[in-house]
Structure 1
């Protein structure tokens, strides 16, 4: 049996997403889909991982050569544990491995070691994978995070009650499926329940926190640990998708009904876009919501803001059945 332990500062590892390198030997993964990629020859792959739980069942995911992933539950809390991610790989050829975070701020985790094992030959870590040149970024909510995407029996239906996160998988969110089809990196700043403004939406209850607070954060849920700032110089996307407006009707669905509050939201939404455009002046911006049921007035407000820019680099996208497609989350194909 050959066994190779890889430290997380090994230069042959590639990272995608807002990964926290405060301790480079124990990088922390906070946002959904954030990942480490490697090329290897191995039969079995494990990680040493420490989980910081907020809610739900918590998982770490692995995909081999871009194929459908496997999720493994992390049951230990705040204690480092060794978790087997996959076994039985073909050691006659190299594999491209993606170890990724399937969930949003239901938890954070840090990885201190990746362990490669093989029975009949030497386990090997190969050269650093080349990352796609195209770059995307999404600022969104649970749909952008792939929440409840694996509940295929509930397609077109409300989410299963008490699902406890077992059906959530960022791999099957539209954002990551789009990135894979385009051959692009994706930084997915998506959080279930997030609205634009603080004190609205469903995230971080009962003291709700909005995208206006978390969009520029690395650690973004102080129910787990204190928030920290993100350095925007670390990543510049070509395309930015803003998919906010689904959760903003909580606690009050005022859009189109209260002129003053409606104007405040539209002004705040425009300011949010302006802030990101200052950071990414060359990027194409796509404004959208989802096919999850919601009031049309929110999409009308987004359309009004998009048109106010009078700029081809800011476009509003509507799905055919926008806001009317399903009462529950979007399921994987």
Structure 2
């Protein structure tokens, strides 16, 4: 999230705005740079609606007809930054609604670096197929957000569908954007001293694992020329990205995860690449955790995301004893 002179600007999946209020209705003034962004309206920890934003600055009625008492509101960005940015100009209340002091910050913090799996690409498609439209993407029901809520922790999500560590389906790679407030502005560097997570989860390489085998792919040619990267190069590239996270967070637990798509399918070499990188790092606060291959078409749906969350929660309870 960034701030202009009169608005907060939202970019990344899972960005959220919170308000405590007493009243029966609440509205927000919003403007989108596109029409592909969707938000969950969450009242008292329950999703009450999904709203699609417009490119005109307007007031959106988020909830009405509530019992007149104290409520907590969360406006949660379901969609990722390729759907455009959102400008938030503030909440709007009627004469009977009173805003209340903000809640105390959650003590625990967890941060995720990932691709379409972590974004929630197509996770609400019902027919088993995939869809890249914002309507079917819900970051709130990803393994990442579910895990964060289970531990009642602050949630930070740096993720983009199609992104990789060495190569992506588009020009940007994660090492080039992970430290940006605005992923389209290389000068918008984030100050990592403002937020230090207790746990970082990295779930990347799914896209790399495909593109390194596509020598005619435009991004392959840009990154590698005509030579497929060696296993040592892959391991070192992953190792270097984890090192960059460790440099930002010297004492944070880091979980190097993979899956649950075909990168963890039986016979895949990619888990061994991650394992070797972690061994090379020789850091007793860095772990590996590989999600079971889902063995279904397309991207993980809501139930498969929930299974991933259960797996990650159990792992954190076992290893970190959070």
* In 1: Cα distance, 2:162 partner to 2:64 partner: 35
Larger helix share, 1 or 2: 2
Aligned to 1:169: 138
Q: How far is 1:284 from its partner?
A: 0.3
Q: Does structure 1 conserve the Cα–Cα contact (< 8 Å) formed by 2:25 and 2:97? A: no
Instruction: Tell me the SS of whatever aligns to 2:93.
Output: strand
What secondary structure does 1:303 align onto? helix
1:250 offset after TM fit, Å? 4.1
Q: What 5-or-longer segments of structure 2 have no aligned partner? A: 215-226, 304-322
Q: Relative to structure 1, is the Cα distance of residues 125 and 179 closer, same or farther in structure 2, using a 3 angstrom cutoff?
A: same
TM superposition shift of 1:314 = 0.6
The corresponding residue for 1:246 is: 206
Partner of 1:85: 62
RMSD between aligned residues? 2.1
Output the CA distance in 1 between the equivalents of 2:195 and 2:143.
Answer: 21
The whole-number CA distance in structure 1 between the counterparts of 2:164 and 2:116 is: 10
**Structure 1 CA distance for aligned equivalents of residues 300 and 65 of structure 2:** 32
Q: Secondary structure at the match of 2:7?
A: coil
Moved over 4 A (4+): none
Q: Give the number of aligned pairs.
A: 287
Give distance in 1, aligned partners of 2:229 and 2:159.
28
* TM-score normalised per structure 1: 0.80
Whether 1:63 aligns to 2:42 is yes
- The Cα of 1:259 is off from its aligned counterpart by 7.9
Matched, 1:326 2:296: yes
Question: Gaps spanning 5+ residues in structure 1: where?
Answer: 1-18
Give yes or no for the alignment of 1:104 onto 2:80: yes
Task: State which drifts further: 230-239 or 294-303.
Answer: 294-303
Q: Tell me the CA shift for residue 22 of structure 1.
A: 4.2
Once the 2 structures are TM-superposed, how far is the Cα of residue 277 of structure 1 from its aligned partner? 0.7
- The answer to whether structure 1 residue 132 and structure 2 residue 109 are counterparts is no
Query: Displacement of 1:312 after TM fit?
Result: 2.4
Report the TM-score when normalising by structure 2.
0.83
Cα distance between partner residues in 2 of 1:60 and 1:48: 13
Aligned pairs for 1:18-33 (under 5 A) are: 19-23=1-5, 25-33=6-14
